[in-house]
Amino acid sequence: MNVIINCDDKYEAQKLASLIFIKEGKETYITSILNIIKNELIISLKDKSAHSVLLKDEKDVERFADFIQSVFEKEHSLTSTMITGDRLEITKEWIYGANAVHSAIIPTIAISESPNALKSPFIHKF
């Protein structure tokens, strides 16, 4: 899955890309979004520092916040970034086993011969 985020300028795109990863381990360095003020993100990093990043508009802020939320929840991990001018493309993938959380749970109904068995015109005994 990927998203393209339009930053305020090339510098802001480079800054956001550099704050996303610890380069060697491809570990996500951003831990949370502390605040959103119009088109500005205030993000917290693992070292407990806070940084401001200016995006093009409020829609890009919302798009980034929605995209990064599953990374904060440890469902996805960020895998790459690519800068093109003031645009930043970010890619994420499922963390192995995390998508099992989202699998459908299909309940089963046991039908017995007891007088208290569930009676429904849509359930057939075979």
Tens-place pLDDT, residues 46-90: 999 999 999 999 999 999 999 999 999 999 988 889 999 999 999
HSE at residue 26, side-chain half, CA atoms within 13 A, is 10
Residue 25 domain flag: yes
Q: Which residues pair with 110 in a beta bridge?
A: none
Structure tokens at 110: 């046991």
Q: What is the number of H-type helices and E-type strands within the chain?
A: 2, 8
- The answer to whether residue 109 sits within a structural domain is no
96 located within any domain: yes
pLDDT at position 110 is 44
Q: Is 16 exposed, middle or buried (0-12, 13-18, 19+ CB in 10 A)?
A: buried
| Domain total in the chain | 1
Whether residue 125 is contained in a domain is answered as no
Is residue 8 included in any domain, yes or no? yes
